[in-house]
Amino acid sequence: MIRLLPALLALAVPATANAALAVGAKAPDFSTQVSLAGKPKPFSLAQALKKGPVVLYFYPAAFTQGCTIEAHQFAEATDDFNKLGATVIGMSADPIDKLNRFSVEACRNKFAVGSATAGTIAAYDVTLPRNPAMSNRTSYVIAPDGKVIFAHTAMEPAGHVTGTMEAVKAWKAAHRKG
């Protein structure tokens, strides 16, 4: 069944254009400070992957219109992601003090948002061309084995939550026991 996963995902997940890391690539490991419900705490991708898939989405800047819309959409879907065993984390180059407020006001205390270093932004190849200090809008689903199973890059927030949700559902279906 595991060998069928790429084929299943290809059928279940819509094609994406300009995705930074290709499906099947090893996701770069990172650790950073995140904020959940206004409180900073450490985050490690390797630790999160031990619990299940990780929905990792990069966005340009907290409190901008598109990023706030996307955060609201991920907040509304977080309980469903959690039921499927997935962790949601948003990443931007914003400082943790700004993200403390964003995690409460836009993320509605549902999921963590982290401060991405320039190194993490570069490693995930999500640099915003007109401003290299910021990331573009790219969403990934990373399987517990550390491989990217979904990637979607589009500056509009539409499609990020639905695409990642379909990828997590397809992964879960392929990994059901029994």
* Residues designated as active site: 67
Query: Which pair of tokens denotes residue 178?
Result: 């029994």
DSSP structure class, residue 153? E
| Residue 143: alpha-carbon gap to chain centroid | 12
Contacts of 66 (CB under 8 A, 6+ apart): 59, 60, 137, 155, 156, 157
Query: Which pair of tokens denotes residue 128?
Result: 């915003």
| Residue 51: alpha-carbon gap to chain centroid | 15
Contacts of 171 (CB under 8 A, 6+ apart): 5, 9, 53, 141, 143, 149
Cβ pair 164, 89 in contact under 8 A: no
